[in-house]
Amino acid sequence: MINNQYANSEVPRIAIVLPCHNESESINHAVTQLTSLIHELADEGLITKDSYLFFVDDGSTDNSWVMIDKLNQNNKAIKGLKLSQNFGHQAALLAGLTEVAQNCDAAISIDADLQQDPLAIREFVKELHKGFDVVLGVRNDRNSDGWLKRQTALGFYNLMRIMGVDIVPNHADYRLLSKRALEALALFPEPSIFLRATCLQLGFRVSTVFFDVSERRFGQTKYSLSKMLRLALHGITSFSVVPLRMVAILGFVIFLSSLVMGGYVIWHTLFVGDTIPGWASITLPIYFIGGVQLLCLGVVGEYVGQIYKTVKKRPRWISEYKLD
H or E stretch at 209: strand 206-211
Residue 112 interacts with which of ligand UDP, Mg ion, none, CB < 5 to 8 Å by class? ligand UDP
Stretch that binds Mg ion, among 12-20, 29-37, 56-64, 108-116 (CB under 5 A): 108-116
Least distance from C-beta 58 to ligand UDP, angstroms? 4
Quote the least distance from Cβ 221 to Mg ion, whole Å: 6
Nearer of residues 21 and 316 to ligand UDP, judged by Cβ = 21
* Min CB(122)–ligand UDP separation in Å: 21
| 112 part of the interface to ligand UDP, by CB under 6 A | yes
**R_g over Cα of the chain:** 25
User: Considering only residues 4, 12, 58, 234, which one is a binding residue for ligand UDP as defined by CB under 6 A?
Assistant: 58
- Is 250 within 8 Å of 296 (Cβ atoms)? yes
**Binding window for ligand UDP (CB under 6 A); candidates: 105-113, 117-125, 183-191, 237-245:** 105-113
Query: Among residues 56 and 181, whose Cβ is nearest to ligand UDP?
Result: 56
Q: Give the whole-angstrom CA distance, residue 195 versus residue 233.
A: 14
CA pair distance 181, 254, nearest whole angstrom: 46
Query: Is residue 157 near ligand UDP by the rule CB under 6 A?
Result: no
Q: Work out whether 238 is an interface residue with Mg ion (CB under 5 A).
A: no
Q: Is 80 exposed, middle or buried (0-12, 13-18, 19+ CB in 10 A)?
A: buried
Q: Closest by alpha carbon to 178, among 1, 49, 51, 6?
A: 6
d(C-alpha 239, C-alpha 17), whole Å:
25
User: Phi, psi at residue 318, to the nearest 5°?
Assistant: -130, 125
Q: How far is the CB of 229 from Mg ion (least distance, A)?
A: 17
| Residue 113 is a binding residue for Mg ion (CB under 5 A) | yes
Q: Is 117 in the site for ligand UDP (CB under 6 A)?
A: no
Find the part of the chain contacting ligand UDP (CB under 6 A) among 16-24, 154-162, 200-208, 281-289: 16-24
Give me the DSSP letters along 43-57. HTTSS-TT-EEEEEE
How far apart CA 302 and CA 237 sit, in angstroms, is 7
Among 99, 105, 113, 127, indicate the residue that binds ligand UDP (CB under 6 A).
113
- Beta partners for 206? 134
User: What number of chain residues touch Mg ion (CB under 5 A)?
Assistant: 3
Q: Measured from the CB atom, is 188 or 218 closer to Mg ion?
A: 218
The secondary structure of 80-109 as a DSSP string is EEEESS---HHHHHHHHHHHHTTT-SEEEE
Do 219 and 25 touch, CB atoms closer than 8 A? yes
Among 99, 111, 123, 127, binds ligand UDP (CB under 6 A): 111
Q: Is 21 in the site for ligand UDP (CB under 6 A)?
A: yes
| Angstrom distance (rounded) from CA 80 to CA 99 | 10
**Binding of ligand UDP by 92 (CB under 6 A):** yes
Contacted entry of ligand UDP, Mg ion, none for residue 57, CB cut-off 5 to 8 Å set by kind: none
Residues of the shown chain interacting with ligand UDP in the complex, contacts defined by CB under 6 A: 19-21, 23, 58, 86, 88-89, 92, 111-113, 115, 221-223
